[in-house]
């Protein structure tokens, strides 16, 4: 028997948990875990419930919608590996970490392919028996390059795209094609030092911590809903290059943690924020 996940978000009102769990009980489902949260400022409710069941159907979903407020969102998900495509450029640390955790089952992912605008990481991808596609951006327009990217990516039908240090900015059309499905790692503790050369900016500012931020990609550069962040302490002896080297471990760990949360259906996107059930 497999486990399934019930994901609900809606305006808050009295009796929500009772109404939801009564339907779960009436269906004879066993609750494995349950987490709830109400955003007090907006009076909005979130709930993630794991049940032991062989599969939930549309009828079950409709019964939930019948007892929930207008505008409620109900999603039924299963706990299983989900297909992803990783985009990278030249830096190997985030890609290598994801491929290693993928093959050892530390993340519920099925890496279908690695796509890059350079060929530097082909040997790394091939060592994990993952298809590698080099799609150069040289000599073509951004739109033409992205069309080639989409044609390559879509043949793998990924649930998510993961940017493992993919150093290009997407057009709005590309982002809209994968809305809320592109996960990025930024080598800075956003919103500080957004954009290019954040470690150089951090060095010039004399910061005493450096970090990394993983977020969903939107059309606002480095301002999408934040999934995970972390920092490490540094001091005045660090150069900009030293900060960069120290930051790589933070980057790869934050990215893999964010991806794990998303693939385990523990992330709700709400406005430009996230609600996480860790």
Is the Cβ–Cβ distance between 52 and 3 less than 8 Å? Answer: yes
Active site (annotated) includes residue 222: yes
Of 148, 222, 210, 144, whose CA–CA distance to 182 is shortest?
Answer: 222
Collapsing DSSP to helix, strand or coil, 55 comes out as: coil
Element (DSSP H or E) covering residue 230: strand 226-233
Among 39, 222, 241, 249, the active-site one is 222
Q: Tokens 């491929």, residue?
A: 99
Is the Cβ–Cβ distance between 124 and 215 less than 8 Å? Answer: no
Is the Cβ–Cβ distance between 164 and 98 less than 8 Å? Answer: yes
Of 25, 9, 126, whose CA–CA distance to 134 is shortest?
Answer: 126
Is the Cβ–Cβ distance between 209 and 228 less than 8 Å? Answer: no
Distances (CA, A) of 261 to 27, 209, 267: 28, 24, 6
- Cα–Cα dist 187/181, whole Å: 20
55-58 contacts, C-beta under 8 A, 24 or more apart: 55/2, 55/4, 56/4, 56/6
- Cα–Cα dist 259/237, whole Å: 33
- Cα–Cα dist 195/188, whole Å: 9
Cis peptide before 191 (omega within 30 of 0): yes
Annotated catalytic residues are 222
């Amino acid at each position: 028997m497999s486990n399934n996940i019930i994901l609900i978000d809606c305006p808050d009102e009295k009796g929500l948990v009772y109404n939801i769990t009564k339907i779960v009980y009436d269906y004879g489902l066993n609750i494995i875990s349950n987490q709830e949260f109400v955003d007090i400022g907006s009076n909005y409710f979130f709930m993630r419930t794991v049940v032991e069941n062989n599969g939930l159907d549309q009828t079950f979903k409709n019964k939930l919608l019948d007892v929930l407020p207008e505008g409620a969102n109900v999603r039924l998900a299963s706990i299983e590996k989900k297909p992803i495509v990783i985009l990278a450029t030249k830096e190997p640390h985030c890609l290598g970490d994801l491929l290693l955790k993928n093959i050892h089952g530390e993340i519920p992912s099925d890496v279908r392919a690695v796509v890059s605008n350079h060929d530097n990481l082909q040997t790394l991808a091939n060592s994990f028996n993952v298809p590698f596609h080099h799609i150069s951006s040289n000599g073509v327009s951004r739109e033409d390059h992205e069309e080639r990217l989409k044609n390559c990516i879509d043949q793998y039908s990924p649930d998510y795209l993961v940017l493992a240090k993919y150093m290009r900015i997407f057009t709005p059309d590309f982002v809209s094609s994968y809305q809320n499905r592109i996960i990025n790692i930024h080598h800075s503790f956003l919103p500080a030092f957004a954009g290019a050369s954040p470690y150089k900016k951090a060095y010039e500012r004399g910061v005493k911590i450096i970090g990394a931020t993983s977020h969903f990609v939107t059309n606002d550069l480095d301002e999408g809903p934040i999934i995970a962040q972390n920092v490490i302490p540094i001091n005045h002896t660090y150069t900009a290059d030293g900060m960069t080297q120290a930051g790589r471990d933070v980057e790869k760990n934050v990215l893999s943690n964010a991806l794990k949360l998303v693939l385990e259906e523990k992330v709700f996107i709400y406005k430009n924020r996230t609600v996480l059930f860790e």
